[in-house]
């Protein structure tokens, strides 16, 4: 009896959480991000402002080297970065761990897009952008106006990314 009650409670919790996350991912709410307000160190310790990539289609991924789904996405992200760099698309990785672990992973994989390090502030940034359950991987896509047009909790497939960015590819780079 006690075990049945626990199973029912866990099932209800899982259902409510799933419905909440699902409805959140499909939320039409658009949030504009002030890119100049965020500056993080890169793998060389140099501060990089996200405003460097203003006016592009940004795919910003929060990840860690100890996260298997995060690592599974990276090869697709690298492939898309190579294929769409000249079409105003820029991937940015924000690592939620210390520089040493990220640098060690990157020395093996050689990620071809900027990696910024944010072991402390990254979770706060991702939460402010809609990562309400603090999960990784967490990815946002910003249009050239700096508006978040998609939030992805969990793994993000190449096919799904392309469905979202294809309509944006005809938008020219914004200059200020």
What confidence tens digit (pLDDT) does each residue in 27-42 have? 446 677 677 788 999 9
Between 169 and 2, the higher pLDDT residue: 169
Residue 19 lies in a domain: no
List pLDDT tens digits, range 152-161. Answer: 999 999 999 9
pLDDT confidence band for 19 (50 / 70 / 90): very low
The verdict on pTM exceeding 0.75 is yes
List pLDDT tens digits, range 95-151. Answer: 999 999 999 999 999 999 999 999 989 999 999 999 999 999 999 999 999 999 999
CATH number at residue 80: 3.40.30.10
Total domains in the fold of the chain = 1
Which neighbouring-strand residues pair with 57?
89
The pLDDT of 9-18, averaged and rounded, is 54
pLDDT confidence band for 18 (50 / 70 / 90): low
Q: Is the pLDDT of residue 171 over 70?
A: no
Give the domain extent around 116. 29-168
Contact of 96 with 62, CB cutoff 8 Å: yes
Residue 12 lies in a domain: no
List pLDDT tens digits, range 57-82. Answer: 999 999 999 999 999 999 999 999 99
Q: Give the whole-angstrom CA distance, residue 154 versus residue 139.
A: 8
Query: Which residues contact residue 76 at a Cβ distance below 8 angstroms, ignoring those fewer than 6 apart?
Result: 157, 158, 161
Residue 113 lies in a domain: yes
Residue 13 lies in a domain: no
pLDDT confidence band for 7 (50 / 70 / 90): low
Residue 140 lies in a domain: yes
pLDDT of residue 55: 92
pLDDT above 90 coverage of the chain, percent: 70
Residue 175 lies in a domain: no
């Amino acid at each position: 009896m006690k075990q049945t009650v626990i199973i029912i409670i866990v099932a209800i919790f899982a259902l409510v959480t799933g419905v909440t996350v699902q409805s959140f991912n499909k939320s039409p709410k658009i949030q504009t991000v002030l890119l100049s307000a965020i500056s993080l160190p890169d793998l060389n310790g140099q501060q990089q402002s996200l405003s460097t990539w203003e006016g592009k289609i940004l795919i910003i991924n929060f990840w860690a080297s100890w996260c298997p789904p995060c690592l599974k996405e990276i090869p697709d992200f690298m492939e898309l970065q190579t294929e769409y760099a000249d079409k105003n698309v820029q991937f940015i990785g924000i690592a939620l761990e210390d520089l040493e672990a990220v640098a060690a992973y990157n020395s093996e994989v050689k990620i071809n897009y900027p990696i910024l390090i944010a072991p402390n502030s990254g979770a706060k940034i991702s939460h402010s952008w809609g990562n309400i359950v603090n999960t990784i991987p967490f990815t946002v896509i910003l249009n050239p106006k700096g508006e978040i047009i998609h939030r992805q909790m969990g793994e993000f497939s190449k096919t799904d990314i392309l469905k979202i960015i294809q309509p944006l590819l005809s938008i020219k780079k914004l200059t200020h």
